């Protein structure tokens, strides 16, 4: 996982764009542009299965490899140039145990690949995650991610290197379809889908 984040940091810091169309980069000057996106947080994959699958009401299989979540994420992007931008993000949703959860994130994003209407972006930055304390469930015996980070009725975790990969499909000059993947490997991978609008 560390290697994945190092590669992502390298791509962002060196602002490498693979297969970019030069004409698109010249004509589409994004510097100073703002984008607002709203995404549905709805699908989680646990590569080794859920750590307490018996408390996951929306699991799609017995061991909770696949679990539905319900919630929204709101992102605000500010472009530094055509291929580099800053994202602030907030999300609130019902997690695998269907209790309130969410995150706050600020990070840098960079274009990894751009071809026609298609674009792949990678990003990294500090993230504060929270959820209602799972100790309310007798089946829950703790986990390797939140460990003993508890404040009142909330479990929380601050990570410096919260990453995300994103696919954008351009519908027109102002609107894009957006699919995001948060790779919390080896514990969880979370998907979001939504729409991004230039404001």
Rg (CA), the chain: 18
pLDDT of res. 199: 93
> For the segment 83-102, what is each residue's pLDDT rounded down to a tens digit?
899 999 999 999 999 999 99
Q: How far apart are CA 43 and CA 13, in angstroms?
A: 30
SS3 letters across the chain: CHHHHHHHHHHHHHCCCECCCHHHHHHCCCCCCEEEEEEEEEEEECCCCCCCHHHCCCECCCCCCEEEEEEEEEEEEEEEECCEEEEEEEEEEECCCCCEEEEEEEEEEEEEEEECCEEEEEEEEEEEEEEECHHHCCCCCCCCCCCCCEECCEEEEEEEEEEEEEEEEECCCCEEEEEEEEEECCCEEEEEEEEEEEC
Global pTM reads: 0.81
> For the segment 10-41, what is each residue's pLDDT rounded down to a tens digit?
655 555 544 444 434 434 578 889 999 999 99
Backbone angles phi, psi at 108, to 5 degrees: -100, 145
Mean pLDDT of 164-168: 96
pLDDT of res. 142: 80
Structural domain of 32: 2-198
Q: Which residues contact 118 (CB under 8 A, 6 or more apart)?
A: 167, 168, 169, 170
Number of structural domains found in the chain? 1
> For the segment 98-139, what is each residue's pLDDT rounded down to a tens digit?
999 999 999 999 999 999 999 999 999 999 999 999 989 989
Residue showing tokens 């929306």? 58
Q: How many CB atoms lie within 10 A of CB 121?
A: 24
Do 90 and 102 form a contact (C-beta atoms < 8 A)? yes
> For the segment 36-68, what is each residue's pLDDT rounded down to a tens digit?
999 999 899 999 888 899 999 999 999 999 999
- 172: domain CATH number? 2.40.160.20
pLDDT of res. 10: 62
pLDDT of res. 89: 96
pLDDT of res. 85: 94
């Amino acid at each position: 996982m560390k290697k994945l984040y190092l590669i992502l940091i390298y791509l962002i810091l060196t602002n490498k764009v693979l297969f970019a169309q030069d004409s698109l980069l010249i004509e589409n000057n994004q510097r100073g542009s703002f984008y607002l996106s709203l995404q549905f947080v709805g699908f989680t994959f646990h590569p080794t299965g859920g750590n307490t699958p018996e408390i996951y009401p929306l699991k799609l299989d017995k061991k909770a490899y696949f679990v539905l979540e319900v919630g929204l994420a709101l992102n605000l992007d500010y472009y530094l140039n055509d291929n580099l931008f800053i994202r602030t993000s907030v999300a609130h949703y019902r997690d695998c145990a269907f209790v309130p959860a969410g995150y706050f994130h600020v990070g840098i994003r960079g274009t990894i690949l751009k071809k026609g209407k298609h674009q792949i972006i990678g990003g990294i930055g500090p993230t504060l995650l929270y959820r209602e304390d799972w100790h309310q469930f007798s089946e829950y015996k703790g986990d390797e991610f939140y460990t003993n980070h508890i404040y009142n009725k909330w479990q929380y975790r601050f990570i410096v290197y919260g990453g995300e990969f994103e696919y954008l499909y351009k519908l027109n000059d102002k609107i894009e379809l957006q699919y995001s993947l948060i790779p919390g490997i080896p514990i969880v991978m979370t998907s979001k889908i939504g729409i991004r609008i230039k404001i």
